[in-house]
Structure 1
Amino acid sequence: MTYRWLLPEYCEDILPEDAWALETARRKLLNLFKDRGFNLVIPPLIEYVESLLTGTGHDMDLQTFKLVDQLSGRLIGVRPDITPQVARIDAHSMNRADINRLCYAGPVLHTKPDVLSQSREPYQVGAEIFGLSEVTGDIEIQTLMLDALSELEFNDVILDVGHVGIFRGLMEALQIDSKTENDWFKLLQHKDIPSLQSVTQGVTAEFRQALLSLPKLNGGGEILDLAIKSLPATPKIMVALEQLIAVRERFNNRVKLSFDLCELRGYHYHNGLVFQVYSADYKGALARGGRYDEVGSAFGRSRPATGFSLDLRQLITFKR
């Protein structure tokens, strides 16, 4: 017997109470973004796969539903993430010379839920700044992210910050090949210090000690002072530490801060500060963001970029 009312696994209707809550929250966030000078864009649900997945990495490719376009015969995908679409709009459709602040709100579709308690159809809301390379852009986005969560009544939160430039600076200084870099990256993600000790035996003492110290450099703002003493003063590392210190100075009296110099989330996508917000009573991150300069180069225009996003559907479900 066919039950025509059944939906695919991890897909569900949003019924009136939650639907109104989501719509009310969406309006609040978009009004906030508008007040801060961000312009709303609404990208299409489907795009050609090669543009849809630009710069997103292998994991997002696996999360993308793909089908053949009956008009062109080309492979298209249902968007799993709106951020690359907004980068395309900035680089091609708008093509501004000045700083461009864009925001968005809409559903995305994943082949599998990120965790078993989530829907395969998150409702992604976010904001991006293009054309601003200074750390002030990252701080502006982090401020907006915290204010957005405050609008959703998430106030007792932790801002967790890392910087992929530190690990990249070490790899460049050592002139490490891509395979070795990827192997060491995986060990750092698992904070596997014994294995890291084994594979770095041939590395000069200063840089080996720096690599081994990264998994331990996590905690409050004081770890940045320790990092200055522990890490080689290469230009890329010093810039990264200066940006982390700027974040500490801006938010130290507003929100609880946590720094993790081994946090390399989105390493093949981000190229600077990465950040996420946590709450003691919420499993997982409330919102995530980071700097992803040069992503627009695939669309013919390379620009500095930083932004954040959150799954409004999941946050509203948690609050009910």
Structure 2
Amino acid sequence: MESYAQRGLLPAGLRDALPPAAEWEAAVGERLLACLAGHGYQRVKPPLVEFEATLLAGAGAKLAPQTFRLMDPVSQRMMGVRPDITLQVARIAETRLADAPRPLRLSYMGQVLRVKGTQLRPERQFAQVGLELIGAATRAADIEVATLAAEALAEIGVPNASIDLCEPTLVPAVCRGLKLDDATAEAVRAALDQKDAAALKAAAGKDAKLLEPLLRLAGPAAEVGPKLLQLDLPAEGRTMLADLVAVADAVRKAVPGILVTIDAAEARGFEYQTGVSFTLFARGVRGELGRGGRYDSGGVEPSSGFTLYLDSVIRALPAPAAARHLYISHGTPRAAAKAQRGEGWRTVQGLEPVADGRAEAKRLGCSHVLIDGRIEEV
């Protein structure tokens, strides 16, 4: 027979959420969704499991190493447990909502499961909250998505938050403009990703002087943005930088309480992003709170969106105030308990008579007790 310790053991990266943490996480998620709904984003709920061929189609193939697989005993086809919700929403837009007017605004909240965690995110199961703006590939769309991500964090009270903006397709575009061959372009991109000036010089040769500012110009948008606009890059690169700086300026003006930074050439972790992208952080919190931007869903529609990792967002928030629980003795009329709930109390009704109501209230974790119609602290 298994011991208590064995029965309570969970696989690495999985955990039980206990009171009051589970309720707090759900409440924060609903507040985030309410913020998104206020901007016209309608909620969808994709299934936890899909056929593997559908879940990992197109851009989803990049998530294959993180996907748990199982056999459907009904259809005898392989299925996958979703490691991310974004591409599921894209599928819904392209199929079930194909005739809905564009741009399409959708939001979601749900659990995801991944094969492996990372050093910064060891959790393998966690909740995602996010939105997708589908059918628009404009600067205005990028601004709306990035601004809403920052605004949602501000609205729920995340202190010391920041949003770091980048353009993952900038370096390939600049390399095309400079007519660099594929091997050289890949070496340049790797050097910029690693912030390695020596490797950049070795890879780019005479073009290193032109590319070097992309390596060092990273920091607060108010300082870095104007300098990026002055760079003498190929035309496509200048257009991308203009969009990037415009998005950063719009977020700064719309959400003044958040720090906006730019690292234009950053590309790591944005494998399927196709335009202005961003990562969200909070000072003192391990890992990122979320990320987003314009992306390739594998379909024909341009899309932009963001995903917040709810467990990380929770770590960035101040602890919630303890809920008020009121012990009500066995036999108290239900109307009396209902009246107290109307006043904001959470009532705990005794199931049998007890000699000491105060002691019972304390044993059950209640802060107050109802005695002879009066509420008293225990």
TM-score, normalized by length of structure 1?
A: 0.88
1:180 offset after TM fit, Å? 4.4
CA–CA separation in structure 2 for the residues paired with 1:48 and 1:224: 45
| Structure 1 segment 94-133 matched on structure 2, within 5 A | 94-95=97-98, 96-115=100-119, 118-133=122-137
2:272 — aligned with what?
A: 269
Give aligned pairs, total.
309
Specify whether residues 183 and 72 from structure 1 end up closer, same or farther in structure 2 by C-alpha distance, changes over 3 A only: farther
CA–CA separation in structure 1 for the residues paired with 2:304 and 2:112: 20
1:97 offset after TM fit, Å? 4.3
Matched residue SS, 2:148: helix
1:311 — aligned with what?
A: 309
1:188 offset after TM fit, Å? 1.8
CA–CA separation in structure 2 for the residues paired with 1:196 and 1:63: 32
Residue deviations 1:56-108, cap 9 Å, x none? 464x3222112233333333211000001011111112113421000000000
Paired residues of 1:156 and 1:279 also in contact (CA < 8 A) = yes
Specify whether residues 50 and 145 from structure 1 end up closer, same or farther in structure 2 by C-alpha distance, changes over 3 A only: same
Greater shift, 78-87 or 237-246, is seen at 237-246
2:262 — aligned with what?
A: 259
Paired residues of 1:217 and 1:262 also in contact (CA < 8 A) = no
CA–CA separation in structure 2 for the residues paired with 1:280 and 1:286: 11
**Which of 141, 144, 148 pairs up with 1:144?**
148
| Structure 1 segment 1-320 matched on structure 2, within 5 A | 2=2, 3-53=6-56, 54-56=58-60, 58=62, 60-95=63-98, 96-115=100-119, 118-201=122-205, 205=206, 207-220=207-220, 221-234=222-235, 236-253=236-253, 254=256, 255-292=258-295, 294-297=296-299, 302-317=300-315, 319=317, 320=319
Q: RMSD in angstroms over aligned alpha carbons?
A: 2.2
Specify whether residues 5 and 165 from structure 1 end up closer, same or farther in structure 2 by C-alpha distance, changes over 3 A only: closer
CA–CA separation in structure 1 for the residues paired with 2:182 and 2:93: 30
CA–CA separation in structure 2 for the residues paired with 1:121 and 1:266: 19
CA–CA separation in structure 1 for the residues paired with 2:310 and 2:126: 7
CA–CA separation in structure 1 for the residues paired with 2:191 and 2:77: 39
Paired residues of 2:55 and 2:82 also in contact (CA < 8 A) = yes
Residue deviations 1:256-307, cap 9 Å, x none? 2211112113443011101122222212222211111x4242xxxx111111
CA–CA separation in structure 2 for the residues paired with 1:24 and 1:224: 37
1:178 offset after TM fit, Å? 4.6
Paired residues of 1:191 and 1:215 also in contact (CA < 8 A) = yes
1:318 offset after TM fit, Å? 5.1
Greater shift, 187-196 or 34-43, is seen at 187-196
Greater shift, 63-72 or 16-25, is seen at 63-72
Paired residues of 1:164 and 1:271 also in contact (CA < 8 A) = yes
Paired residues of 2:106 and 2:131 also in contact (CA < 8 A) = yes
Paired residues of 1:101 and 1:127 also in contact (CA < 8 A) = yes
Q: Which has the higher contact order (CA 8 A, sep 6+)?
A: 1
Matched residue SS, 1:271: strand
Matched residue SS, 1:258: strand
CA–CA separation in structure 2 for the residues paired with 1:276 and 1:107: 20
Paired residues of 2:164 and 2:261 also in contact (CA < 8 A) = yes
Specify whether residues 174 and 308 from structure 1 end up closer, same or farther in structure 2 by C-alpha distance, changes over 3 A only: same
CA–CA separation in structure 2 for the residues paired with 1:34 and 1:155: 22
2:341 — aligned with what?
A: none
Higher Cα Rg, which structure? 2
CA–CA separation in structure 2 for the residues paired with 1:117 and 1:81: 14
Paired residues of 2:112 and 2:126 also in contact (CA < 8 A) = yes
Letter in 2 for 1:222: E
Paired residues of 1:275 and 1:290 also in contact (CA < 8 A) = yes
CA–CA separation in structure 2 for the residues paired with 1:121 and 1:61: 16
Greater shift, 45-54 or 93-102, is seen at 45-54
Paired residues of 1:128 and 1:307 also in contact (CA < 8 A) = yes
TM-score, normalized by length of structure 2?
A: 0.75
Specify whether residues 289 and 17 from structure 1 end up closer, same or farther in structure 2 by C-alpha distance, changes over 3 A only: same
Sequence identity (%): 32
Specify whether residues 116 and 163 from structure 1 end up closer, same or farther in structure 2 by C-alpha distance, changes over 3 A only: closer
Paired residues of 1:25 and 1:152 also in contact (CA < 8 A) = yes
Specify whether residues 114 and 216 from structure 1 end up closer, same or farther in structure 2 by C-alpha distance, changes over 3 A only: same
| Off by >4 Å, runs of 4+ in structure 1 | 175-180
Letter in 2 for 1:69: D
Specify every segment of 5 or more residues in structure 2 that has no aligned partner in the other structure, as ranges.
Answer: 320-378
